[in-house]
A = this chain, B = another copy of it.
């Protein structure tokens, strides 16, 4: 007997038939003797409708009312899923965030989970293995009002619940069947990974492989929750996200991720003196503009430096306006911004103990005549910024070069 948390996303509960399908999957685990808690998202499209209503009424909305409105999507699904289970003869009941309670801080709209009371759920597991169907994405704040955890928050609810219940596994059912070595819509030879480490998944998630929400992976890593990503429409194992020592044969590179959500900003001939970076990036940080890759290169004259960095595409205009308005440094020759870039990252925990990974990347891109604009590296990742028109070419070439192609 195991204890399992099963999480179903919006497309998995998009209509009544799919909710029935979810109930059948849950029943199978119950019939196998497991204790099961289910976490559900809103039916797909519902949250968008609710958010649209809020924005129509009040563009600068009171986040507490936003939460009261938007949390209803998951409430509906939790009740319907409990009913679908009961129809199959499975004892089940729905739980809203405030009923457990799942207590969060008061950051309405993007609350963080503080604690989950699982006593009653565990009592009902012990009593008759009643399935707990928990509305994802929501909690109750210190003010006694409904909070939501931000987009993708149902993943976070599921992982946090799995941690609180000390579950053996947290299965995240979604519309893809696992984590791939690369985006299969671009790289036809991409392979599904059987296992991936938390660290790798974290890099993948934050780089735009939108299978799991970053926060949920962090949480899983911190509490060592075994997460499985799998399809709710097909009947086969997915990808297990696990601790590094559960993976015997480590790949040097596990996957290649990319992000189109980058824009490049360059300031040329900035006076090269101490404090210059702080002067540039301080005002951007204050304005909540996230800066990602940063490269500083000295100019020929030895007196000045060129500063290049990336920001989210949506922030590019704001960032350049801030810099031009005299926030940060005023002494520079040119300010160049370019939204037509993509970031490509090769990711793998094996990199730590294997040299030459970066070289392979640089050589492969050079052979294809692709210019690297910015490079940044971490312990398990190498990222480069290139012209976006080369995205597909670069991904396919790198996928082959690192031996990731499906046989």
Residues of chain A at the chain B interface (Cβ within 8 Å) = 16, 19-20, 50, 53-54, 56-58, 61-62, 64-69, 71-72, 75-76, 78-80, 82-84, 86-87, 93-94, 96, 98-99, 144-146
| Closest 6 pairs between A and B when the two form their complex, measured CB to CB | A69-B79, A68-B79, A72-B72, A58-B83, A65-B79, A57-B83
The answer to whether A83 touches B61, judged by C-beta atoms less than 8 angstroms apart, is yes
A98 to B69: give the CA distance in the assembly, Å.
15
In the bound assembly, the distance between CA atoms of A53 and B146 in angstroms comes to 24
The answer to whether B94 touches A68, judged by C-beta atoms less than 8 angstroms apart, is: yes
From residue A63, how far is it (CB to closest CB) to chain B in Å? 10
Q: Nearest Cβ distance between residue A58 and chain B, in whole angstroms?
A: 4
Q: How far, in Å, is A16 (CB) from chain B's closest CB?
A: 5
**Cα separation A78 to B53 with both chains bound (whole Å):** 12
Q: Please, how many angstroms separate the alpha-carbon atoms of A351 and B359 in the complex? A: 101
- Kindly provide the distance from the CB of A74 to the nearest chain B CB, expressed in whole angstroms: 9
- B residues in contact with A64, CB < 8 Å: 93
- A65 to B65 Cα, complex, angstroms: 24
Contact of A16 among B57, B65, B93, B98 (CB under 8 A): B57
CB within 8 Å for A69 and B65 given contacts A83-B58, A86-B58: no
Nearest CB in chain B to that of A98: its residue: B98
Task: Output the residue of A71, A79, A86 with the most chain B CB within 10 A.
Answer: A79
Q: Is the CB of B98 within 8 A of A80?
A: no
Check A84/B68 contact, CB under 8 A, given A16-B53, A99-B145, A144-B99. Answer: no
Question: Could you tell me the distance between the alpha carbons of A144 and B19 in the complex, rounded to whole angstroms?
Answer: 25
Given contacts A53-B16, A79-B65, contact A87 B72 (CB under 8 A): no
- Supposing A16-B53, A57-B20, A99-B145 touch, asked if A93 and B65 sit within 8 A by C-beta, the answer is yes
Contact status of A86 and B65, CB under 8 A, knowing A16-B53, A80-B57, A144-B99 = yes
A403 to chain B minimum Cβ distance, whole angstroms, is 48
Rounded to whole angstroms, the CA-CA distance of A86 and B94 in the bound complex is 32
Closest to A69 in B: B79
A89 CB to closest chain B CB (Å) equals: 12
Tell whether, in the assembled complex, residue A72 and residue B76 are in contact, meaning their CB atoms are under 8 Å apart.
yes
Residues in B whose Cβ lies below 8 Å from that of A69: 75-76, 79-80, 83
- Nearest-Cβ distance from residue A368 to partner chain B, whole angstroms: 51
Give the docked Cα–Cα distance between A359 and B101 (Å).
Answer: 65
Q: How far is the CB of A275 from chain B (nearest CB, A)?
A: 43
